[in-house]
Amino acid sequence: MKHDAPRAARVRAVVATLAVLAGAPPVQAQLQILDLNELPEQRNLTPMNRLLPTDPHVVIRAYLAKHLPSLWWGRESQFSPGRTTVEIHLPEGWQGNPTAAMMGLCPQPNENIWRVFHEIEMRPFFQKKFWPSWTCRG
């Protein structure tokens, strides 16, 4: 709605000002805004509360929950603006090349996750050790 845009702009300006006053670099002070209805498994939100600052941890967790095969699990191990590293744990008894499996988990170029991240490094953990990682770039 038209009346939501000025309010959202004021909120971004206030938060950016507070971040600058707190000593954050200007790049980190910028907020990314994402329509939460576009995230997987989100309920429909009202127009008043659906545009919120994006939590990158929520975005990557939602992506992993939707795309990881059964018995696989993942967690973020490192995060920086525009980039995250995710550990993907493969189950015992799985057969194949773990690094090649990470290539298949990369988001498609048109996925909304690329609004938040520019790079996603996936580190497979299999047979009680880390295997070479694969970096997806959007």
Q: Is 70 exposed, middle or buried (0-12, 13-18, 19+ CB in 10 A)?
A: exposed
Report the predicted TM-score, pTM, of the whole model to 2 decimal places.
Answer: 0.61
Same domain, 69 and 102: yes
Considering the domain architecture, whether residues 13 and 29 belong to the same structural domain is answered as yes
Q: Are 113 and 138 in contact (CB under 8 A)?
A: yes
Query: Within a 13 Å sphere around the CA of 57, how many CA atoms are in the beta-carbon half?
Result: 5
For the chain, the domain total comes to 2
Residue 30 confidence (pLDDT) above 60: no
Does residue 130 share a domain with residue 63? Answer: yes
- The CA distance from 14 to 119, in Å, is 29
Per the structure, the complete domain to which residue 71 belongs is given by: 56-137
Q: List pLDDT tens digits, range 55-97.
A: 888 888 889 999 999 999 998 878 888 899 999 999 999 999 9
Pair 44, 67 in one domain = no
Half-sphere exposure for 34 (CA within 13 Å, toward CB):
20
The H or E element containing residue 58 is: helix 56-67
Both 100 and 82 in a single domain? yes
Tell me, yes or no, whether 67 and 133 share the same domain. yes
